Structure 1
């Protein structure tokens, strides 16, 4: 996360995450962090489709032919993306059927090779049924760097950011429209998600309302952070994870 999260010690960032450690997953290929995912039940997690797109093409096109999904690591129950907790690999990837490579419908569901053990500091989180009103504070959680051009230390952090509705946010990106009314934003100076934060959950009242898709900057009110509005995808999510 960019200027997003501060440490528990005084500094320009927000605080280390605590509660969300049990629901957040890190997604790595050959120990390189690609993004975040959020556990919905023991078998399924939700993430940004761009993370899965990167995984798919890295694993099956850009690496040697012996590369398998075993080189994809999904880590849970740790506040460090690179160590600790529990690890597993991928069993299945399901893109949203309308995802086309941009921020529209930027969602995917990933099935874990090994079901999560809820007795080991791991739990699931639910999807909200609707978004809160504009200006409402929500919490974004992830492993990204503290600035756009820095590298991540892999520590899970969180930040409080205000919700911005689609109509307001699309004017910020005019005339470039990479998303539709199935997205919304958050915007706060020097606070917001960054590279390696793709897939970060935005949480309000202990339920997920958004999954981070991207932005043209980090922690910017000029170019707000764009999220998939997961409250509009409950039917698709439930159909996949209950099948």
Structure 2
């Protein structure tokens, strides 16, 4: 079992800056990624064979992991085939966080991420690499919940794509669940965020594949709102939130904002932050996507911002199973 070190947001800004600069360099050297003018499929001309999907083990709803690599602390390298509803959100070529695919034109993420984003954001789905392959789309609209209050209250937002995704085995929508899992149940988080690894007192260098943004997944133990509120004395932490437990090996961290938490193949939450990632005394916080008023806002917003044919397509969406 590896020890892990969560990146503290204020203390590690320089490390994050260095990492994203290296990521841009590696994009040029190893991906040779080009996008069509209409923002369609990403094509890799030079290293197609080298960037084939890794055959990795899926983490099911009851499986925990203690393998720590760059991304979600305690996460395992994951194949997009097992988490096809997960998308990366980028700005200026740099990862901002993740989102979850609701249908071919709508993506769900956090209000925090969209509040900080500008109109140039790029959404990339259908790939387990942040900067390679998949389908890339620009945002037509970015909508933050009107009652979002930093940092956690109503922390949810929607992105409408300019051009719809084309669904395939690597890119699918997911259905919103009806209820948060009970305390102690395991749910699965997937995302692209950045952390570092340590072995004892020694930091392990990041590999090329880690820096280019590998999808991660981890099985996490749910803590319901009533059992988590003792950790957060804030008016912003309400019954529209809940948590997952942190131990020495498992926790979301930097740039995991908007990552989907899934239970029995249903979306039940979005990672929206923590006061100290990787700290076992500070459980990680989620927006409860199953909460009725949150679900009602999602559906009402999509209905308001869609024409009749788009709305009908949304209602006819085939979900990940």
TM range (shorter): 0.7 to 0.9
2:84 aligns to what?
22
**Equivalent position to 1:197, from 247, 256, 259:** 256
Q: Specify the SS of the correspondent of 1:22.
A: coil
1:163 aligns to what?
222
Look at both structures and tell me which one has the larger radius of gyration over its CA atoms. 2
CA contact (8 A) 1:45 1:111 kept: yes
Consecutive unaligned residues of structure 1, counting only runs of 5 or more, are: 60-68
Rounded to whole Å, the distance in 2 between the matches of 1:112 and 1:234 is 20
Q: Does 1:114 align with 2:175?
A: no
Rounded to whole Å, the distance in 2 between the matches of 1:168 and 1:226 is 12
Q: Does 1:207 align with 2:256?
A: no
1:181 aligns to what?
239
- Offset at 1:36? 0.4
Rounded to whole Å, the distance in 2 between the matches of 1:103 and 1:119 is 34
Q: Which deviates more, 88-97 or 13-22?
A: 13-22
- Offset at 1:177? 4.5
Report how many residues are paired: 226
Q: Does 1:234 align with 2:283?
A: no
- Offset at 1:217? 2.1
- Offset at 1:198? 0.4
Residues 1-243 of structure 1 aligned to structure 2 (within 5 Å): 11-12=67-68, 13-18=74-79, 19-55=81-117, 59=118, 69=119, 71-119=120-168, 121-147=170-196, 153=211, 154-173=213-232, 175-189=233-247, 190-232=249-291, 233-243=294-304
- Offset at 1:21? 3.9
Q: Describe the shift of the 1:15–1:130 C-alpha distance in structure 2 as closer, same or farther (beyond 3 A).
A: same
Rounded to whole Å, the distance in 2 between the matches of 1:8 and 1:146 is 20
Q: Specify the SS of the correspondent of 2:127.
A: coil
Map Cα deviations across residues 7-64 of structure 1 (whole Å, 9 max, x no partner): 9699433322234542111111111110101000111010011110110xxx3xxxxx
Map Cα deviations across residues 211-233 of structure 1 (whole Å, 9 max, x no partner): 01100222333111100000012
- Offset at 1:83? 1.6
CA contact (8 A) 1:187 1:220 kept: no
